[in-house]
């Protein structure tokens, strides 16, 4: 799907692979110039190379989203490099699978990256978009932002928090031309879930968690993000869009 984003500028965090890379490639394929960001420099530069190889335009900027100063510099780079910022996908996140999230350090890290990181990004992006009188932001939450997960208090709380921030931003900037939405992926095959899917038995379990009988693909999440940014979604704001193969339909 080509949304005709020629002349537009998109920023994607957590874009060294998985969902973020798929979104960055999708923005570029629709004509936008893309600022690719991550803390994994190798993967981020690979994403830029993939975009360039497909004839698109992108730059890489390292940014730890838990660092407010680095986020400020990231958004400033979008403006200095391409002159504006139309779309932002605040997607960087961690899942502390297997660790005890009642450990203070594990909890604090989830809050810093998954929740504070989204807030830092939103406020800097909105600052630019307010001056333009236009923009669209999509935050990556999760189905764990809508339903509980007994294993992961930090992940569950932060992903619920992302939906709260999304609704806040939507209301705050509704009259300023900025739409803010969230995407809530189900179980998706990405580097995040790769340690689990490497085990065929676990892959079968994960496939079975979804009514469709399979894990989702990063491109299926990217498609939702691109639509939310497009003019096709011009009256959609404050919405947590579930893309989960039916996992939360039960």
Residue positions annotated with a catalytic role: 155
| Closer residue to ligand NAD, CB minimum distance, 129 or 143 | 143
E strand or H helix at 126: helix 117-132
| Closer residue to ligand NAD, CB minimum distance, 190 or 237 | 190
| Closer residue to ligand NAD, CB minimum distance, 96 or 237 | 96
Please report whether residue 135 would count as binding ligand NAD according to CB under 6 A: no
Closest by CA position to 38, among listed 121, 162, 157: 121
Tell me which of 8, 12, 14, 88 binds ligand NAD, using CB under 6 A: 14
Please report whether residue 185 would count as binding ligand NAD according to CB under 6 A: yes
| Closer residue to ligand NAD, CB minimum distance, 135 or 185 | 185
d(CA 148, CA 160): 9
Contacts of residue 25, Cβ cutoff 8 Å, sequence gap at least 6: 47, 50, 51, 54, 56, 222
- 3-state DSSP assignment of residue 188: strand
Closest by CA position to 88, among listed 113, 117, 52: 117
d(CA 106, CA 240): 26
Closest by CA position to 38, among listed 87, 82, 94, 86: 94
Please report whether residue 129 would count as binding ligand NAD according to CB under 6 A: no
d(CA 218, CA 211): 18
Per CB under 6 A, which region of 59-67, 75-83, 99-107, 123-131 contacts ligand NAD?
A: 59-67
Number of residues near ligand NAD (by CB under 6 A)? 30
Answer for the pair 182, 171: CB distance below 8 angstroms, yes or no.
no
Kindly report the number of other CB atoms within 10 A of residue 233's CB atom.
18
Please report whether residue 16 would count as binding ligand NAD according to CB under 6 A: yes
CB 73 → ligand NAD: shortest distance, Å?
Answer: 13
Answer for the pair 182, 114: CB distance below 8 angstroms, yes or no.
no
Q: Interaction with ligand NAD in 78-117: which residues (CB under 6 A)?
A: 91-95, 113
CB 72 → ligand NAD: shortest distance, Å?
Answer: 14
CB 184 → ligand NAD: shortest distance, Å?
Answer: 7
Interface mask toward ligand NAD for 188-227; x: CB under 6 A: x-xxxx----------------------------------
Which residues are at the interface with ligand NAD (CB under 6 A)? 13-14, 16-20, 38-40, 43, 63-66, 91-95, 113, 140, 142, 185, 187-188, 190-193
């Amino acid at each position: 799907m080509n949304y005709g984003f020629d002349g537009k500028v998109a920023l994607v965090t957590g874009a060294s692979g998985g969902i973020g890379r798929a979104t960055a490639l999708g923005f570029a394929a629709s004509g936008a110039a893309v600022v690719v960001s991550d803390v994994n420099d190798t993967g981020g530069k690979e994403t830029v190379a993939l975009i360039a190889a497909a004839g698109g335009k992108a730059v890489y900027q390292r940014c730890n989203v838990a660092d407010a100063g680095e986020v400020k510099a990231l958004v400033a780079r979008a403006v200095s490099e391409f002159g504006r910022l139309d779309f932002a996908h605040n997607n960087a996140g961690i899942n502390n699978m297997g660790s005890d999230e009642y450990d203070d350090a594990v909890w604090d890290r989830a809050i810093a990256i998954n929740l504070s990181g989204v807030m830092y990004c939103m406020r800097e992006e909105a600052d630019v978009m307010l001056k333009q009188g236009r923009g669209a932001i999509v935050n990556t939450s999760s189905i764990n932002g809508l339903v509980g997960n007994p294993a992961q208090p930090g992940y569950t709380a932060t992903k619920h928090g992302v939906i709260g921030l999304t609704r806040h931003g939507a209301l705050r900037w509704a009259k300023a031309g900025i739409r803010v939405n969230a995407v809530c992926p189900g179980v998706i095959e990405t580097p995040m879930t790769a340690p689990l899917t490497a085990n065929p038995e676990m892959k079968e379990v994960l496939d079975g968690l979804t009514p469709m009988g399979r894990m989702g693909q990063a491109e299926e999440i990217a498609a939702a993000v691109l639509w939310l940014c497009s003019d096709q979604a011009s009256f959609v704001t404050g919405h947590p869009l579930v893309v989960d193969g039916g996992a939360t339909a039960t």
